Amino acid sequence: MIRMKKSLTAMLFFFCLIASATVHAQAKIGYISSQELVSVMPETKKADSLLQDFRNALVQNATDKQNAFYAAVDKFNKDSTGMTEAQKSVKRGDLTKLGQDLGGEDERIQQQLQQKQQELLAPINKKAFEAVQTVAKENGFTYVFEKEALLVAPPAEDILPLVAKKLNIKLPPTQGGAAPAGPTTTPKTGGSKQ
């Protein structure tokens, strides 16, 4: 009886192993560089332009603050001879506070730029992800990995050309091999990638 249970368990294990191997043999695996995909999407070029305009506005605002500070210092230097020591002390305190605020301006600009970049790229990344999901389903891919996470990958399983075609984007010749039909776009990335 024990021998029969062991034989039955061994046979069951063997059948599970064969079934598992069959399922794995049928799995279709692909990969994509989502960074490359997003860089060729027309929405990215528009987002880059908006981000550059936002950056320019922030820099101009910081320049205006700096010019106002210098003007206030010049005015203080000219008017201080007619001020009492108490007035000078108050004015120096105000100027010191303005100077300290200016000192943190670069960090504020960087934080605002990062926030704006995330805001602009979120819908683009979502669209790219949804296109990858659709292409994977339509073409029978069981798994799709991020290309940059792979050490070895066969070029035939890169789904970037399929996703670009789905999004009606023409890839440059250096990206994804053959370029599917669609509008021509120039890849451009803005800021740091996240």
Domain 27-166 in CATH 3.30.910 = yes
Tell me what pLDDT residue 187 has: 36
Q: Could you state, in order of their start, the residue ranges of all structural domains in the chain?
A: 27-166
Across the chain, mean pLDDT equals 80
Q: Per residue in 49-90, pLDDT tens? A: 999 999 999 999 999 999 999 999 999 899 888 888 999 899
* Cα end-to-end distance, the chain, whole Å: 61
Percentage of the chain modeled with pLDDT above 70:
75
Residue 129 has pLDDT above 60, yes or no: yes
Amino acid at 101: D
Q: How far is CA 17 from the centre of its chain?
A: 41
Residue 41: DSSP 8-state:
S
What SS3 state is found at 177? coil
